[in-house]
Structure 1
Amino acid sequence: MDKFLFKHIDNINLVLWRVVFGALIAIEGFGAIASGWVRRTLVEPDFTFNFIGFEFLQPLPGDLMYWYFALMGVFGLLVMLGYKYRFNMFCYALMWTCVYLMQKSSYNNHYYLMMLLCWLMVFLPANRWFSIDARQNSELKSSSMPRWVLLVLILQVWIVYTYGSIAKWYPGWLDASVPALFMKGKKDYWLVGGFLQQNWAHWCIAYVGIFFDLLIVPLLLWKRTRMAAFIASIFFHLFNSFIFQIGIFPYMSMAFALFFFSAETLQRRFLPKKKLYTKGEIIVPNYKPALITVLSVYFIVQIGLPLRHWFFKDDVLWTEEGHRLSWRMMLRSKAGSLTVWVKEKGTEERKRYDYNQLLSKKQQRSVKAKPDMLWQLAQRIKEAEAKKGRDVAVYMDSRIRVNTGYYHQLTDPEVDLAAEPWHHFKHNDWILPSEEGFARKPKK
């Protein structure tokens, strides 16, 4: 075990990854401002749908969120340069974690992955070569790292891809109807719009997605298939970037290849002046027990979280319970209709409530089909009415359509959601049971 984990290897994989990762998270910070993401998601709304339990995390007032993201961009650049690396990486990790937890209207799996990678990078010795820190401090400079550093990054990526594949093993994906649904909005895409409407293209997207996610890490690990897998990765992720426009995630995923190529190959291609480390020393640190314990707990959680939806009642596609933090990527399309009613305590009359007055356009689109956001909206309505001196019950009449299915009733319209607690670890009974075949229209 000591030889496997603590044998020192050349650190060029980690060093190059730091440079690329720092550049990408800087682009994420500055790009979120330039693309209008900060404005639409954090500035325009009066409040954000935070992760339940983190209600204290709300956007800074006025234009401060623009400065917040600009500062993150600066931290990213300093990470790339390796200047005061741990401090700047910690600051970015903390600030990005706050952004991630303060809003769900723009939920995306790559935001979660970026958060995990940021925190991992805080503790990894990524600034010991090709960095300002190493140039300024000769004692810090080193051309090697323990092997566990690289293994941690590979295992994290492997978990993401594997669960990304497994989550697609359900009828709506296996019969290519969900990819077909996604491609309907791509008709006008330059050059490829027509091809994306073809039935064969939908089947290709469905099964290439399954097998790419399942096999890419093993193929990159095996030397004989590494280059072919890397070329396939470039094509796959550039396709996703062009078709789905999902920010830095495809480029970050292509950069994962740095974990798999040999130090000799990377040195020859990128840092020819770097002398390769070949001693292979086994240095067991005195913090070995703590390290093994922390990493074991971390990966048990990472492996366990995506499985938790099996312990909830009903289908996760319907309830969303256990959906987040589970690498359920690009799996389903949901649409909803919502009517909100309020009833002042002590009266019998229900009145229709215009909930749109509380939400931005982006929030209006995302709230209708997600139970946790419906529950949070009920709490907000109750608070807004309490400020006017009215104690109200809030009833949500939500109907949703999943994939190619029909609209079905999601919430019990007779339950006062404002009075209901939110259950993190068990099913919320006001979410009505799904109907058989809810995600697919019956064949004629």
Structure 2
Amino acid sequence: MEPGARDATAGAPYVEASRVKKKNSKEDKQETLSPSEQTSAMKRLFGFEKEDISSWHRLVCLLNRPTDPASLGIFRFLFGMLMALDITQERGLSHLDYKYLDGAPVCRFPLFNFLKPLPMDWMFFVYFVMFLGAVGIMLGCFYRLACLMFISTYWYVFFLDKTTWNNHSYLYGLIGFQLTLMDANRYWSVDGLRKPRKRNAHVPLWNYTLLRTQIFIVYFIAGVKKLDADWVEGYSMKYLAHHWLFDPFKLILPVELISLMVVHGGGLILDLTAGYLLFFDATRPVAFFFVSYFHCMNSQLFSIGMFSYTMLATSPLFCYPDWPRRFFGRFPEFLQPILNRRPCWEEI
């Protein structure tokens, strides 16, 4: 046997031993990885495994997975506050005597033409009940009753006059109905103070899924509606390019290109992609910037009441549900009981 071959043969057990040792060290390292480091790419991307949707039973279990109620509670608070403001403005409480003036012509919805306005004093009472419902939603006080007070009177007022119909008014009613089905009073609520067992208790994942799906539909359908020739060719909102909000763009682009590329092209792309971009962690910061900029501009361009601010309030729903706890965790310790930062599973 040649010396080189002998040395190689003699060293084989040591080489093999080193390989086994290296393999064992890799296995030990994998065992010591935290659960977050061991999660699959699909779970990191979508928040669930492929097996979670492999059958109806698994899907139901996924949708009922216990989830932090913090983000939902913040949205409930903001939605109730914005609806309370909307009632005095776009719903017409501030000019109720003019809106339901006796003998004023009205246009009814098909199938709902049997609805008639009540006498003026009772219409004020209807609006008062709706306002109390919105405030109750905001505070999470007698939450389920507050939701019923709000949506019953809201839809009644909504169906009284077809001429006041618009997309976002319809959306408010849908969100109000969806909140009625949810447990949005588990965080930042008076009900949580009244009943400690509700305070910070988990909510099922479908509470978030339903609202996220609703907002995705709002954006995507708005994008689909913009695929007509007038919008794509830049004619629908041509006058908007002259608004002062677009002055920064005028430093680099002529008005015609601002209208075509920024107003029409940007609006089309944003609506078609916003729902997707908000869903994924990697693209969410970019989506937050453009969506927030878009809605802030709309609040100045159009008289659409609380719609822009309501859509801004929906954006955090796409974040991790515990984001309010992490955000409020930066506040001084003496404010923590007020901010209700600690979840119930840490209080036990």
Report the TM-score, using the length of structure 1 for normalisation.
0.57
Q: Provide the residue aligned with 1:71 in structure 2.
A: 129
Q: Which residue of 2 aligns with 1:259?
A: 317
- Give unpaired runs (5+ residues) of structure 1: 280-444
Q: Deviations over 1:354-391 (max 9, x none)?
A: xxxxxxxxxxxxxxxxxxxxxxxxxxxxxxxxxxxxxx
Contact kept? 2:70, 2:200, Cα under 8 Å: no
- The residue identity in structure 2 corresponding to 1:116 is L
**2:265 maps to 1:198:** no
Question: Displacement of 1:44 after TM fit?
Answer: 6.8
Distance 1:58 1:209 in 2: 39
- C-alpha distance in 2 between matches for 1:27 and 1:97: 17
Distance 2:327 2:165 in 1: 37
Q: CA deviation at 1:270?
A: 4.1
* 2:85 is equivalent to residue 27 of structure 1: yes
- DSSP 3-state at the match of 2:342: coil
* Cα 1:256–1:36 shift into 2, 3 Å: same
Q: Distance in 2 between matches of 1:194 and 1:269?
A: 33
Cα distance 1:223–1:194, how it changes in 2: closer, same or farther (>3 A)?
closer
Aligned length: 275
SS in 2 for 1:119: helix
Q: Does the residue aligned with 1:177 lie in a helix, a strand or coil?
A: coil
Give the CA deviation at 1:19: 0.4
Report the counterpart of residue 112 of structure 1 in structure 2.
Answer: 170
Match of 1:161 in 2: 219
Aligned to 2:342: 275
Residue 151 of structure 1 pairs with residue 218 of structure 2: no
* Corresponding residue for residue 382 of structure 1: none
8 Å contact 1:81–1:132 — kept in the other structure? yes
Deviation at 1:118? 0.6
Distance change >3 Å, CA 100–CA 195, structure 1 → 2: farther
Q: Give 1:151 shift.
A: 0.4
Question: 2:163 corresponds to which letter in structure 1?
Answer: S
> Which has the higher Rg, Structure 1 or Structure 2?
2
Please give the per-residue CA displacement for 1:399-423, whole angstroms capped at 9, x wherever unaligned.
Answer: xxxxxxxxxxxxxxxxxxxxxxxxx
8 Å Cα contact 1:47-1:59 kept in structure 2:
no
Normalising by structure 2, we get a TM-score of 0.72
- Bigger proportion of residues as strand: 1
Within 1, Cα distance between the matches of 2:307 and 2:101?
24
Change (3 A) 1:192 1:78: same
**Residue pair 2:72, 2:321 contacting (<8 A) in 1 also:** no
Residue 14, structure 1, aligned to residue 72, structure 2: yes
Question: Displacement of 1:50 after TM fit?
Answer: 1.7
Q: 1:125 to 1:46 in 2, by over 3 A?
A: same
Structure 2 equivalent of residue 121 of structure 1:
179
In structure 2, C-alpha distance between the alignment counterparts of 1:35 and 1:96, rounded to whole Å: 12
Cα offset, 1:43, TM superposition? 3.6
Picking from 262, 277, 297, the partner of 1:239 is: 297
Amino-acid identity (%): 25
Q: Is the 8 A contact 1:82 1:127 kept in 2?
A: yes
Counterpart Cα distance in 1 of 2:160 and 2:256: 40
Q: Is the 8 A contact 1:48 1:103 kept in 2?
A: yes
Contact 1:47 1:58 in 2 (8 A): no
CA contact (8 A) 2:100 2:120 kept: no
C-alpha distance 41-195 of structure 1, shift in aligned 2 (>3 A): farther
Partners of 1:179 and 1:202 within 8 A in 2: yes
Contact kept in structure 1, 2:133 and 2:149, CA below 8 Å: yes
In structure 2, the CA distance between the partners of 1:35 and 1:227, relative to structure 1 (3 Å rule), is farther
Between the two structures, name the one with larger relative contact order (CA 8 Å, sep ≥ 6): 2
User: What displacement does 1:276 show?
Assistant: 4.1
Query: Amino acid of the residue matched to residue 27 of structure 1?
Result: L
Which amino acid in structure 2 is aligned with residue 207 of structure 1? Answer: G
Report the counterpart of residue 100 of structure 1 in structure 2: 158
Distance 1:269 1:37, change over 3 A: farther
Residue 129 of structure 1 and its aligned partner are, at CA, apart by: 2.3
Greater helix fraction, Structure 1 or Structure 2: 2
Q: Does 1:220 align with 2:278?
A: yes
